């Protein structure tokens, strides 16, 4: 009921008022910790049953359910999805489905037992302007897609990494977690970039053929908080990603799609622009978009048989999970951002402490625009080796070694 699950609860309560959904039951290992929330969400008036364990919830209620929503820690996704699909129930599964490519394959197999496909809740695939632009790309209006870049800086205070037992972790109890800005918090944007590079169908994602990466950290965590990743897709599209939590100040994210005739610039929630090579600039209004409510409604439409597929299925997540895993294989180790570049920043208004990396915006630009890696340009680390899908077998050893250091 806490964390992002609380946002699902608030959203479903609103959708219930509008007659779109009915919450039958929920669970949390510590339901008593959410007494206030249960009042706010009016559980007793709505007749919501509360269980301390998802297995007892499913045993008691599965016959009356159309779907299960799983907005829990990443390392619990597979077992909860398996329990629901064993009963034929499809799942609204929060992203990332898992960050372990082999576990994803098991989940894809398990999903075939459900009455309908599960949805992986990457927020932005169903945005109307995004789908319309992808249709225009596929129709060839902008010429061939040559490349795409993502720059994303989302400051996270030290308290973010202490909010639960899995934040910033590579493994827990010998199992893959791999929580990071790339695999978790900003996974939406990574998945978006792969979406731009996919074709020929609308709902398709570019598949990584070769990956190079440099992973870094500034925070005292097991995993990485700063990623520089490049991949060529099987269709020959070059994608570059630069993401970090090791920054302070306002958040920013920008997806750029480089086509023969135009560059498409897409800032979720703010600005969409087509910059034609001939100098014309076409602006597209970013419509108000409530990601969670819209994704719930879109999934309900699919479950009722009004549409043919969910926005992102487990199989559609293969490219994202493989890219994340191969980025770890390529980088082989997580280097420290040079101490001279990192300084503490206290945000007095928020009463929170951030770490800021000097020159991060320039490092992003050098990498995304010029292909210059930070390791060779002042960040003092060796380049990542090229990793291909054939190297996925090395993934577990690489992560275990990273976790030991």
Ligand X SMILES: NC(=O)c1ccc[n+]([C@@H]2O[C@H](COP(=O)([O-])OP(=O)(O)OC[C@H]3O[C@@H](n4cnc5c(N)ncnc54)[C@H](O)[C@@H]3O)[C@@H](O)[C@H]2O)c1
- Which of these segments, 72-80, 231-239, 272-280, 390-398, binds ligand X (CB under 6 A)? 72-80
DSSP state of 153: E
- Nearest Cα neighbor of 146 from 256, 30, 72, 68 is 256
Interface residue with ligand X among 98, 117, 123, 192 (CB under 6 A) is 123
Q: Residue 79 CB: number of other CB atoms within 10 A? A: 13
Please tell me the count of residues contacting ligand X according to CB under 6 A. Answer: 20
Residue whose structure tokens are 């939590």: 245
1 binds ligand X (CB under 6 A): yes
d(CA 306, CA 8) in angstroms, rounded, equals 23
- Residues listed for the chain: 405
Cβ(181)–Cβ(226) below 8 Å: yes
Binding range to ligand X, per CB under 6 A, among 70-78, 144-152, 251-259, 373-381: 70-78
Which of these ranges, 73-81, 139-147, 149-157, 349-357, lies near ligand X under the rule CB under 6 A? 73-81
Which range touches ligand X (CB under 6 A), out of 25-33, 37-45, 237-245, 306-314? 25-33
Nearest to 369 by CA among 258, 278, 281, 262: 258
Interface stretch with ligand X, choices 41-49, 68-76, 101-109, 313-321 (CB under 6 A) = 68-76
Please tell me whether residue 389 binds ligand X under the rule CB under 6 A. Answer: no
Binding-site member from 17, 29, 359, 400 for ligand X (CB under 6 A)? 29
103 binds ligand X (CB under 6 A): no
Sheet arrangement for strand 68-70? 68-70, 91-94, 119-121
Q: Kindly tell me which residue out of 41, 43, 54, 228 binds ligand X, with binding defined by CB under 6 A.
A: 54
Residues 6 or more apart whose CB falls under 8 angstroms from that of 13 comprise 23, 41, 42, 46
Q: Does 3 bind ligand X (CB under 6 A)?
A: yes
| Interface pick for ligand X out of 12, 25, 58, 74 (rule CB under 6 A) | 74
153 in contact with ligand X (CB under 6 A):
no
Instruction: Tell me the pairing of strands 252-259 and 145-153.
Output: antiparallel
Of 28, 111, 255, 325, the residue at the interface with ligand X (CB under 6 A) is 28
Q: Is residue 73 a contact residue for ligand X (CB under 6 A)?
A: yes
- H or E stretch including 275? strand 271-276
Q: Which residues of the shown chain bind ligand X in the complex (CB under 6 A)?
A: 1-5, 27-29, 54, 71-74, 76, 94-95, 121, 123, 164, 184
């Amino acid at each position: 009921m806490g964390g992002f699950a609380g946002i699902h609860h608030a959203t479903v309560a609103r959708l219930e008022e509008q007659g779109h959904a009915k919450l039958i039951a929920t669970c949390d290992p510590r339901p008593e910790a959410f007494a206030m929330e249960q009042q706010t969400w009016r559980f007793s008036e709505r007749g919501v049953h509360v269980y301390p364990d998802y297995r007892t919830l499913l045993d008691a209620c599965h016959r009356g359910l159309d779907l299960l929503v799983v907005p829990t820690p990443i390392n619990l996704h597979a077992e909860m999805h398996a329990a629901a699909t064993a009963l034929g129930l499809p799942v609204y599964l929060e992203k990332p489905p898992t960050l372990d490519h082999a576990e994803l394959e098991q989940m894809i197999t398990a999903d075939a037992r459900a009455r309908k496909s599960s949805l992986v809740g990457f927020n932005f695939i169903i945005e109307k302007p995004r789908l319309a632009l992808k249709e225009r790309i596929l129709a060839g209006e902008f010429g061939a897609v040559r490349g795409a870049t993502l720059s994303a800086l989302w400051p996270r205070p030290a308290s973010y990494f202490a909010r639960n037992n899995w934040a910033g972790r590579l493994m827990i109890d010998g199992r893959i977690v791999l929580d990071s800005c790339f695999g978790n918090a900003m996974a939406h944007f990574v998945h978006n970039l792969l979406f731009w590079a996919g074709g020929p169908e609308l709902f398709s994602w570019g598949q990584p053929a070769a990956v190079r990466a440099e992973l870094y950290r500034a925070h005292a965590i097991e995993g990485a908080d700063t990623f520089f990743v490049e991949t060529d897709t099987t269709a020959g599209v070059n994608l570059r990603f630069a993401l970090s939590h090791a920054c302070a100040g306002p958040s920013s994210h920008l997806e750029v799609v480089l086509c023969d005739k135009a560059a498409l610039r897409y800032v979720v929630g703010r600005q969409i622009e087509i910059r034609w090579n001939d100098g014309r600039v076409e602006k597209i209004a970013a419509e108000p978009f409530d990601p969670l409510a819209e994704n719930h409604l879109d999934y309900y439409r699919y479950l009722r048989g009004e549409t043919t597929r969910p926005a992102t299925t487990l199989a559609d997540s293969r490219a994202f999970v493989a890219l994340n895993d191969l980025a770890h294989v390529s980088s082989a180790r997580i280097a420290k951002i040079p101490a001279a570049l990192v300084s503490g920043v206290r945000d007095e208004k928020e009463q929170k402490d951030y770490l800021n990396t000097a020159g991060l915006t320039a490092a992003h630009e050098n990498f995304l625009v010029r292909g210059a890696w930070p390791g060779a340009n002042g960040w003092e680390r060796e380049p990542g080796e090229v990793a291909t899908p054939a190297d996925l077998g090395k993934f577990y050893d690489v992560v275990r070694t990273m976790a030991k250091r």
